[in-house]
Amino acid sequence: MRKKIKIYLPFLENEFKSNLAYKGSFYLFMLCYLFSPFINYYLWMAIYGSTDSGSIGGLTRDEMVIYVFMIYVTTEMVFVGISEYIREHVVEGSVVMNLIKPMDYRMSLISQAAGTMVYRFFAPTVFVWIGVEIYKACVLGMGITPLSNILCYMLSLLMSFLIYVLFDFCFGMIAFITTYMYGMQLIKDALISFLSGQLIPISFFPEAVGRLFEFLPFSSMVYTPVMIYLGKYSGAELAFVLGRQAVWVVLLYVTGSLLWRRITRRLVVLGG
Amino acid sequence: MIKVEHVSKEFVSAKKYQGLSGALKGLFSREKVHKMAVDDISFHIKKGEIVGYIGSNGAGKSTTIKMMTGILTPTKGKCLVNGIDPNKQRKKNAQNIGVVFGQRTQLWWDLPLSESFTILKEIYDISDEAYRERIAFLNRVLSLDDFFTTPVRNLSLGQRMRADLGAALLHNPPVLYLDEPTIGLDLVVKDNIREAIKEINEKYDTTVILTTHDIGDIEELCSRILIIDKGQLIYDGSLAELKETYGTRRRVTMEVKDTKEAAAMPLGQWLGKPEDAYDIEADEENSSIAVSFDKNQLQVSEVIGCVMQHMEVRDIQIKETELAEIVKEIYNHGMAKEA
């Protein structure tokens, strides 16, 4: 285990460093990304303003504010795409260089993604998070989120990250078959934002649809940790949603291994 | 060390059509194009050999190398490298091999060379002691010191190639694959790289498989060559043997007084040989004639002696066929097996 960490840790560090190398682009992107929670915020406030009942889909207006911004915090750290790397490696043929080394391709990609996650945690997610807490305590008067919720959220977040990257690895395998997948990436992003609760909380859907969505792995990527943070689960239910995440981690890990074994058998290397 | 047995690789791709209407047609067509990149190749390589693997562009060299490294799975047949099937145990095989693809780098683009090496040290699980020894050795043969702390993206091509070679050798692999290691390099760097390969081979008894388009690489390094053409192995033997078998043409250039007269000389009659056994070319500008022939049919001394008897010869030059010409001939005409 220690040896494994020693092998893959440099990938994490390397990714962290190269993220720092392109500061300009990062701040621009961050600005764009920050638009979406604010647009969501105003949209939801308009919806809540036009309804008489205090809560929709089990969420009050104030909880919705927290939901919108915690979705931002969560997705920033969870949605670290590795299929883009795979696509790049396949298109440029540099996947060869990863295959001639005695290391696991998936592990190196996940380590890279972890580097980006750590970077995003510091810039700027943690500050948005602190901002949410201050707003929550001072303006909404809801008090600070209890530590137990935060710890459960962190655990859930970590599994969400694994679910996302493991899923994205499986998705990235398409690149080996089609060698082109930009369009499919757009479809994937749209589907995930819808199915994961990023756009609309899953509790807003009709019950049958909501159940189906909760059954899919996508709700475990974003919706679960945010609801944990909001304190919507407790006791057995909390254990169940965390367990469901763990099951998805295992399932996607196994699926990825099987796919990888099949794909490498029919691998095509582009360019020389 | 390396066993390749009846290996074939077939690539299947969707058929492409020409032009805009062709592109549209391609959307609905399900026709496939099959291409045999490597067709039933077998060879064995012993430990410590340096083998040149040559062939024209697209002949299947890189494909074969990729199958031996475990990147590609053969459609048919089997490879064994050091007793390991690289396709079944890719990671285990990777410990045993070093690879340099001249057109790509295996180093981390944004990191200084020193850090790339540290990562490789962890990946290959090299002990501190072995690492220090290797670095000292590689520094000496490849002089990596000059750019050890420079980010890889800032290295010149020659430096990068040396760095890549160093990276491939860091874990002291018993087998080294070099896919065009001297591509695009200047003469001095080429020489350095060749020297380094030689030294590594001598010191560690490393088996080296080298593909190249540079005949100089072959002449300097390889004791044995394999020639592949259109996916088929057409020659497997020593360099000397290849020259012996295919380099039998000799060309004698003689400076004479009257080129016209010399060109018309009845050499065949004088020697008692048929007219098609030799070929005479006249070069008016340099007032010389060139006689070319097969050394199995005529002897150099015979030809020179005969000509000198009949006319005044001021200067003589004898040329063997160069390896480059032999190889060019083989690429152009495939292999005349009966020759």
Residue-wise pLDDT tens digits, A218-258: 999 999 999 999 999 988 999 999 999 999 999 999 999 99
Provide the pLDDT for residue A24: 77
Provide the pLDDT for residue A151: 94
* Peptide linkage before A124 cis (omega within 30 of 0): yes
Q: Does B70 touch chain A (CB under 8 A)?
A: yes
Contact yes or no for B181/B193 (Cβ under 8 A):
yes
The two structure tokens encoding residue B17: 């059509």
User: Quick one: pLDDT band at residue B335, thresholds 50, 70, 90?
Assistant: low
Is residue A74's pLDDT more than 80? yes
Alpha-carbon distance A272 to nearest alpha carbon in chain B (angstroms): 7
Q: Does B184 touch chain A (CB under 8 A)?
A: no
Is residue A267's pLDDT more than 70? no
DSSP alpha helix (H) spans, A50-82 = 61-78
Domain ranges of chain B: 45-244, 248-320
Contacts of A180 in chain B (CB under 8 A): none
Distance CA B280, CA B259 (A): 11
User: Quick one: pLDDT band at residue A75, thresholds 50, 70, 90?
Assistant: very high
Closest chain A residue to the Cα of B124, Cα to Cα: A102
Q: What are phi and psi of B55, to 5 degrees?
A: 175, 160
The mean predicted confidence, pLDDT, of chain A is: 87
Is residue B147's pLDDT more than 70? yes
Contact yes or no for A163/A221 (Cβ under 8 A):
yes
Q: What is the pLDDT of residues B157-175, one digit of tens each?
A: 889 989 999 999 999 999 9
Please provide the CATH number assigned to the domain covering B248-320.
3.30.2130.10
Is residue B272's pLDDT more than 60? yes
Closest chain B residue to the Cα of A267, Cα to Cα: B72
CA A90 vs CA A80, A179, A210, B12: distances in Å: 19, 7, 37, 17
Average pLDDT of the segment spanning A255-264 = 89
Q: How many CB pairs under 8 A join A and B?
A: 72
Q: CB within 8 A of A31, min separation 6: which ones? A: none
Percent of chain A with pLDDT over 90: 41
Is residue B129's pLDDT more than 90? yes
Distance CA A8, CA B119 (A): 9
Q: How far is CA B50 from the centre of its chain?
A: 11
Provide the pLDDT for residue A134: 93
Contact yes or no for B8/B74 (Cβ under 8 A):
yes
The two structure tokens encoding residue B61: 């060299």
User: Quick one: pLDDT band at residue B337, thresholds 50, 70, 90?
Assistant: very low
Residue predicted with more confidence, B320 or A186? A186
Residue B338 DSSP label: T
Residue B273 DSSP label: -
Bridge partners (DSSP) of residue B226 are B53, B236
Interface contact A264-B73, CB threshold 8 A: yes
Query: Under CATH, to which class is B45-244 assigned?
Result: alpha beta
Is residue B232's pLDDT more than 90? no
Is residue A270's pLDDT more than 60? no
Provide the 10 A C-beta neighbour count for residue B122: 17
Alpha-carbon distance B10 to nearest alpha carbon in chain A (angstroms): 10
The string of DSSP letters for B127-139 reads -HHHHHHHHHHHH
User: Quick one: pLDDT band at residue A123, thresholds 50, 70, 90?
Assistant: confident
CA B325 vs CA A203, B12, B252, B321: distances in Å: 77, 34, 16, 7
Contact yes or no for B106/A101 (Cβ under 8 A):
yes
Provide the pLDDT for residue A240: 94
Contacts of B165 in chain A (CB under 8 A): none
Contacts of A271 in chain B (CB under 8 A): 103
Is residue B261's pLDDT more than 50? yes
C-alpha torsion angle, residues B61, B64, B66, B68 (rounded to 10): -140
Contacts of A265 in chain B (CB under 8 A): 73, 87
Contacts of A94 in chain B (CB under 8 A): 104
Q: Does B111 touch chain A (CB under 8 A)?
A: yes
Is residue A30 left, alpha or beta, with left meaning phi > 0 and alpha meaning psi from -120 to 50?
A: alpha
The two structure tokens encoding residue A93: 């043929």
Residue B182 DSSP label: T
Q: How many helices (H) and strands (E) does chain B have?
A: 13, 13
Provide the pLDDT for residue A272: 43
The string of DSSP letters for A102-124 reads SS-HHHHHHHHHHHHHHHHIIII
Considering only CB atoms, which residues of chain A are within 8 Å of chain B? Answer: 3, 6-7, 10-11, 14, 17-18, 21, 93-94, 96-97, 99-104, 264-269, 271-272
The two structure tokens encoding residue B166: 């160093």
Provide the pLDDT for residue B256: 84
Domain ranges of chain A: 2-19+57-265
Q: Cα Rg for chain A, rounded, in angstroms? A: 20
Provide the 10 A C-beta neighbour count for residue A223: 26
User: Quick one: pLDDT band at residue B339, thresholds 50, 70, 90?
Assistant: very low
Distance CA A2, CA A12 (A): 15
User: Quick one: pLDDT band at residue B70, thresholds 50, 70, 90?
Assistant: confident
Percent of chain B with pLDDT over 70: 98
The two structure tokens encoding residue A8: 């893959």
Q: Does B31 touch chain A (CB under 8 A)?
A: no
Provide the pLDDT for residue A268: 57
Nearest to B201 by CA among B233, B169, B227: B169
C-alpha torsion angle, residues B170, A2, A118, A104 (rounded to 10): 60
Q: How far is CA A43 from the centre of its chain?
A: 23
The mean predicted confidence, pLDDT, of chain B is: 84
Is residue A271's pLDDT more than 50? no
Provide the pLDDT for residue A158: 95
Average pLDDT of the segment spanning A102-130 = 89
Average pLDDT of the segment spanning B98-122 = 85
Closest chain A residue to the Cα of B177, Cα to Cα: A100
